[in-house]
């Protein structure tokens, strides 16, 4: 089975802190994604990566950055956390091909910024 592991289930951080959310997948997938999930808004794509050191902005990249130094790991960085970044963050991965393959999700990290 594909396993996508997010390092923390729950995090509480202070406004202005630099926050790192880590995601690791064990299936040698090329593509990795970060979404945030908010009630009534569904999942919104923050950033994705289709290869090591490659990244693309999603729909809501403002206030976030990402790092992909190794194929299995994709990190989401909140440069200066703000209360409006309180949310559930979901990491996902999928193979580069075939194009029809679904994405596999981690358990999520619920981040609270106080």
Partner 1 sequence: AQSVTQLDSQVPVFEEAPVELRCNYSSSVSVYLFWYVQYPNQGLQLLLKYLSGSTLVESINGFEAEFNKSQTSFHLRKPSVHISDTAEYFCAVKKGYSTLTFGKGTMLLVSP
CB of 84 to partner 1, least distance (A): 18
Helices (runs of H) and strands (runs of E) counted in the chain:
0, 11
Q: Number of residues in contact with partner 1, rule: CB under 8 A?
A: 22
Q: What are phi and psi of 43, to 5 degrees?
A: -100, 130
- d(CA 28, CA 15) in angstroms, rounded, equals 35
Give residues 60-89 in contact with partner 1 (rule: CB under 8 A): none
How wide is the angle at C-alpha 29 spanned by C-alphas 28 and 35, nearest 5°?
135
Give the residue with the Cβ less far from partner 1, 78 or 105: 105
- d(CA 6, CA 85) in angstroms, rounded, equals 17
Contact stretch for partner 1 (CB under 8 A) within 17-25, 66-74, 76-84, 101-109: 101-109
CB of 99 to partner 1, least distance (A): 6
Give residues 2-41 in contact with partner 1 (rule: CB under 8 A): 4, 33, 35, 40-41
DSSP state of 102: P
User: Would you tell me which residues interact with partner 1 (CB under 8 A)?
Assistant: 4, 33, 35, 40-45, 48, 58, 90, 92, 99-100, 102-108
């Amino acid at each position: 089975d594909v396993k996508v592991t997010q390092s923390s289930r729950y995090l509480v951080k202070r406004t202005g802190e630099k926050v790192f959310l880590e995601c690791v997948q064990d299936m040698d997938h090329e593509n990795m994604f970060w979404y945030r999930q908010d009630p009534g808004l569904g999942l919104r794509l923050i950033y994705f990566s289709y290869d090591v050191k490659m990244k693309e902005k999603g729909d809501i990249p403002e206030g976030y950055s990402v790092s992909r130094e190794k194929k299995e790991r994709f990190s989401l960085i909140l440069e200066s956390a703000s209360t409006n970044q309180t949310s559930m963050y979901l990491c996902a991965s999928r193979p580069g091909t075939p194009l029809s393959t679904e994405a596999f999700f981690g358990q999520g990290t619920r981040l609270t910024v106080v």
